[in-house]
Structure 1
Amino acid sequence: MIVRTLSRYLCLAVAILSFGVGVVGIFVPLLPTTVFMLIAVWAASRSSPRFAIWLRDHPRFGPAILAWERERAIPRRAKILACLLLTASCGVIVLGDLVWWGKGLLFTGLVSIAAWIITRPTPRASSLLR
């Protein structure tokens, strides 16, 4: 009983923290929003069904969350924005003051993330409708 209650409160804290970081990500470049919203809805589903429903029904966050949950798909607009920001990050890394192998590792990681994002399917139009 105590473990279950503690687990619920921990998941609720993760949901609220992830939601907060996701909202900050709207305004701060290079901080992803969708990833944190997916974590928030996952944690909220285990702790606060009302919060999870609110996230799924939200006009800004809901369509991306539903597309991921239903099809493991990423909307085209999110793919483009993510790749543009990853490209900007690569530019900052190249211009930054870091050892060459560190730049190479970071650059390779960011390019790998971009490739993974690009290879995810785009949601069918029917999945974006509720």
Structure 2
Amino acid sequence: MPSLRRAAYLALAWVSFALGVIGAFLPLMPTTCFMLLAVWAASRGSPRFADWIRDHPRFGPAVIAWEDEGAIPRYAKWLAVVMLGVSMLVLVFTVGILWLKLTLIAGLSLIGVWIFTRPEPAISS
């Protein structure tokens, strides 16, 4: 059973990593959250893979900032808040049920506030 669990964590890590890489090129797809999930899963399935992600020049600094300080770089905050705003705008025009639309917009707004109130890394990444 432990090897099956390890394989499941490793598979989740690779899928998350792949989605994160895709997110680096597609503006509506997140990158950092998938990298955080990849590192979490890889640390349970393949610590070497987790270390490789942490050492990666593009993805590593944001992951390390989150793990060490719970911090989000300023550019990532702005990008996330802008993308949340775009998502809210899409909801305004596509969701017909008023209570659902308002609930989703309120939820996205709270997420945006939470993201924006996270500290920035001590060393800019």
TM-score scaled by structure 2? 0.94
Question: Could you list the runs of 5+ residues in structure 1 that have no partner in the other structure?
Answer: none
Alignment correspondent of 1:88: 86
Q: How many residues align?
A: 125
Q: Name the CA distance, whole Å, in 2 between partners of 1:14 and 1:98.
A: 35
Give the alignment's Cα RMSD to 1 decimal. Answer: 1.3
Unaligned runs of 5+ in 2: none
In 2, Cα distance between equivalents of 1:79 and 1:19? 20
Residue 16 of structure 2: aligned partner: 18
C-alpha offsets along residues 3-45 of structure 1, whole Å, 9 cap, x if unaligned? 1111110100010011111112223333211111001001111
Q: Which residue of 1 aligns with 2:115?
A: 117
> Share of identical aligned residues, percent?
56
Query: Is the 1:19–1:36 contact (alpha carbons within 8 Å) kept by the matching residues of 2?
Result: yes
Paired residues for 1:1-130 under 5 Å: 3-125=1-123, 128=125
TM-score (norm 1): 0.90
